[in-house]
Structure 1
């Protein structure tokens, strides 16, 4: 593609139609066209493996597929076939399908630190159910969430803490603690411990947890009688088949999974200790907890897809493949950035299976303008990369071609840094953060 003449007229028209009919132009804010250079947000026609095609006919090597959910690549044959078999047998019934117990058995064999599991359709339902359960079993109202993690739920207990809190009544029931700082968390619990129902966090993010940190949180939760919840939407499968809890050996009371679990199919899971999970069931004498009750939570084709995903991960060593691909990509991007003189400005971060990149200005500060420049050049080079999160469908050739596109983008980045102003290389407004008060 010619970078200077790179245009997406059909995608631009499709985006206009999307905004006319759908608030925000997408069903997930992170997929909005405001996250891309102006008029250069591709609208996807189809995908296969690690490649997607837009409605303008361009093919891209894709990263961060489905917001990290499609970790095996699009239309993975084993997953698609498993779902297809169930579609011919009916997808939803008035009573549980036998597939529900098979899927639960498979999940609990994959994540042996959990004793019971309940499936749903999205991560927000699972995390909110975990919070509700924690409140019920402790009799406490406050929730303490990790301030350094970007997203937990669409529900009020979390969204009310973001700049997009319009429509949510004021509340002081959600508190925050910093990741990696046991002392600060201990101080928070010392002040509010009798009122805090749970600590909820992603067990790992762009940095490894400090030595002893997760075990320290486990001890604090036990000492103060609150529930420890691991949000494993991202770490599940990408860290290990059993998530971060399986890798680091610290067992939470409750945990939530999604994203990679379905390879694009809608399925999530709430899992945890039997004595807690049973409070959402029928075999106890306490007040009942309306835990999760979803018409489509156990659709057979999605559960079959999840089972196929888990089998593929364990049989083919997918997590190790993701790490190897990510390591190759990170090394290539860092080398390309260093060779063009922007090694301190285009920065790759995170675990190899979950890479992101930062775009820093001449003062080393995060810059939406430089991110826009970088994304534009990647798109023109045939790479769709809001992050550098890999799928196992990528080949070494895909990685090497990506590094070429990054090198070309970094050369322009260097010119913008030398000029001290990236705006001359922008085609329109800069990309915007998802959480902001005004559109």
Structure 2
């Protein structure tokens, strides 16, 4: 009796790189219909069945395929191996042909040839992809149901279960065969994973329409006659999806629709580990982050860019937010929490009398500048820059898009000020008091805006001198504490130095991951806000102030600033201990609670990339800086440094002549800027 051969097509609507691709129309028909119509022409197949998931998003796909007369089996979203076992059982399959929904150019004649070759070879598994020689998009796998069931019983690895056949191919438990073409055409790409792929394949169907019985040889002839029709996707890598994580796929997709890929330079994948960084999270708790594939990582990196001093998802802060959501976040009335928060911030900073709230650091900076200009009656602003770097929000974000390599940006003058702000913004370097005095002598400055500390602290009473200079000349002094606030004191780090500004801004850690920033200041300065229009609907939402009030309460009870400062110093000691052990020279920088280091080497950026690459494989998000949180316990630090030790050993080997680039699995990360954002 002839074995029953069932072709199982795996497809779903939730493709990461090209959503809903199987239902996108080519001409007048959905891509899945074209695929099934071509596959059903194979003479060796007894039944074609669709295997999809139970996710509600797949309903349109299921309806379409069932209307076409093909059976549908639904199973797990992620465990595709289980889906195949269910489908094969339901169809009483003896032999299974696996075809994926991204291969609409599947060739029925080639499928028949593969089945015949499978039976003639007497193997458990056969494919034409083990050693690729056919164009990508003509992928065919044939295997026995017995082998499929055995694989499902024996492997629980997520990769095996997601991709169905790796265990069949690599476990050594099965007889494996291969079908090859006499000419290597594996560089040709006829699959549909990305928009460029869809463009190419759609052109093929358009050319042959209304025929659907064209062979893969005819497509090959077409490509040789019109190579330009096939050029849009030739830069893409074969089977890239099998090695890319879900986050990497989504990052690639994001860059097609979001300038730069995301909303924050400091979170771009290229800043960490180009082509390998998971990029997106599904969950975060304490100092652990889970990617979209469920892999857990200990965050010894930038902890949400410094937003979570109390760790991700602090239970008390989250409970306060949940209570707010239940009670209502917006109303025609104002939320009382904004009054309570303003009072608390003023209480923590006795020099201040009033506060304004916003939701992001960029907003807080812009609001502070507008108020200060209104109060001083002058437009010109002196902004403290470090080694030529000027304030991010006031200057760079108003110019052209930044260059990730850290070079001069289009539209910038050599001093780093955008052309559209020339004559208004005047940068000066931290700890260079004489430069600031010369600036004020030459220009009618109304505002000085600066961070209290940069990567190194003040020297020669720099802050006190700036304060006195601003007082003597009637200039409004603003301290930017968006990053430094609440890390060494309960409030601004300026309290450590005994210097009181006229205004200060706080952000990042104020709401422990919820959007809230604040501007505080002296009454005579802050009341100038009434003379200029400063207003925004979502500055009145309730979640931010509620989160901030609870965050401040927990911080005060825990004395979190002391904990994270102590932990940061321990991290610094750990880095230095490893550097000494491996005879490496490093330079430390930053506040203890947002500490960082740099190798004294012309390969420093490559070494940073190597650390991120190697530590990621060990379950850590790591580079050369850490924003410390209260959940960075001694046990976590011990595990981190145990894992980091051999990486420093690798770096020492590179300093002794080993090629660091050969150790990297992708490009070197972008440098960005030494400043901790």
Q: Give the structure-1-normalised TM-score.
A: 0.89
Contact 1:238 1:322 in 2 (8 A): yes
1:399 aligns with 2:637: yes
Map 1:311-330; keep pairs closer than 5 Å.
311-330=553-572
Aligned partner of 1:186 in structure 2 is 437
Distance 1:190 1:166, change over 3 A: closer
Equivalents in 2 of 1:352, 1:431: separation in Å? 24
Contact 2:354 2:522 in 1 (8 A): yes
Q: Which residue of 317, 320, 325 corresponds with 1:87? A: 325
Q: What SS is found at the alignment partner of 1:355?
A: strand
1:108 aligns with 2:358: no
Q: What SS is found at the alignment partner of 1:243?
A: coil
1:289 aligns with 2:532: yes
Aligned partner of 2:46 in structure 1 is none
The CA RMSD over aligned residues, in Å, is 2.1
Distance 1:171 1:105, change over 3 A: closer
Q: What SS is found at the alignment partner of 1:235?
A: coil
Equivalents in 2 of 1:140, 1:97: separation in Å? 34
Q: Which residue of 278, 284, 299 corresponds with 1:47? A: 284
Equivalents in 1 of 2:615, 2:472: separation in Å? 50
Distance 1:321 1:206, change over 3 A: same
Q: CA deviation at 1:155?
A: 4.9
Q: What SS is found at the alignment partner of 1:52?
A: strand
Aligned partner of 1:25 in structure 2 is 261
Equivalents in 2 of 1:151, 1:376: separation in Å? 31
Aligned partner of 1:252 in structure 2 is 501
1:265 aligns with 2:508: no
Equivalents in 1 of 2:318, 2:346: separation in Å? 22
Aligned partner of 2:483 in structure 1 is 234
Deviates further, 416-425 or 84-93: 416-425
Q: CA deviation at 1:339?
A: 0.8
Equivalents in 2 of 1:313, 1:152: separation in Å? 28
Equivalents in 1 of 2:603, 2:522: separation in Å? 41
Give the unaligned 5+ runs of structure 1: 1-6, 282-287
Aligned partner of 2:143 in structure 1 is none
Aligned partner of 1:285 in structure 2 is none
Aligned partner of 1:334 in structure 2 is 576
Distance 1:330 1:421, change over 3 A: same
Distance 1:294 1:359, change over 3 A: farther
1:360 aligns with 2:360: no
Superposed CA offset, 1:315-372 (max 9, x none): 1110000011112211112111211222x04x432222110121332xxx47322221
Equivalents in 1 of 2:314, 2:374: separation in Å? 40
Distance 1:337 1:58, change over 3 A: farther
Distance 1:317 1:261, change over 3 A: same
Q: CA deviation at 1:105?
A: 1.4
Equivalents in 2 of 1:151, 1:268: separation in Å? 21
Distance 1:211 1:357, change over 3 A: same
Equivalents in 2 of 1:157, 1:36: separation in Å? 22
Equivalents in 2 of 1:32, 1:273: separation in Å? 38
Q: CA deviation at 1:144?
A: 1.0
Contact 1:332 1:403 in 2 (8 A): yes
Distance 1:142 1:366, change over 3 A: farther
Q: CA deviation at 1:85?
A: 0.9
Aligned partner of 1:390 in structure 2 is 628
Superposed CA offset, 1:360-398 (max 9, x none): 32xxx4732222122212222222134212111111111
Q: What SS is found at the alignment partner of 2:426?
A: strand
Contact 1:373 1:425 in 2 (8 A): yes
Q: What SS is found at the alignment partner of 2:275?
A: coil
Q: CA deviation at 1:180?
A: 1.0
Aligned partner of 1:66 in structure 2 is 304
Give the unaligned 5+ runs of structure 2: 1-242, 403-407, 413-417
In the alignment of these two chains, the number of paired residues is 415
Deviates further, 144-153 or 227-236: 144-153
Equivalents in 1 of 2:573, 2:467: separation in Å? 35
Equivalents in 2 of 1:366, 1:206: separation in Å? 21
Q: What SS is found at the alignment partner of 1:208?
A: coil
Contact 2:385 2:391 in 1 (8 A): no
Aligned partner of 2:313 in structure 1 is 75
Q: CA deviation at 1:139?
A: 2.3
Aligned partner of 1:136 in structure 2 is 374
Contact 2:337 2:545 in 1 (8 A): yes
Q: CA deviation at 1:84?
A: 0.9
Which of structures 1 and 2 has the larger relative contact order (alpha carbons within 8 angstroms, sep 6+)? Answer: 1
Q: What SS is found at the alignment partner of 2:626?
A: coil
Equivalents in 1 of 2:382, 2:595: separation in Å? 27
Q: Which residue of 607, 632, 653 corresponds with 1:370? A: 607
Equivalents in 2 of 1:298, 1:151: separation in Å? 30
1:11 aligns with 2:243: no
**Max radius of gyration: which structure?**
2
Distance 1:141 1:158, change over 3 A: farther
Q: CA deviation at 1:92?
A: 1.4
Q: CA deviation at 1:416?
A: 1.4
Contact 1:337 1:407 in 2 (8 A): no
Aligned partner of 2:274 in structure 1 is 38
Equivalents in 1 of 2:588, 2:563: separation in Å? 19
Map 1:179-218; keep pairs closer than 5 Å.
179-192=430-443, 195-218=444-467
Q: Give the structure-2-normalised TM-score.
A: 0.59
Aligned partner of 2:42 in structure 1 is none
Distance 1:388 1:30, change over 3 A: same
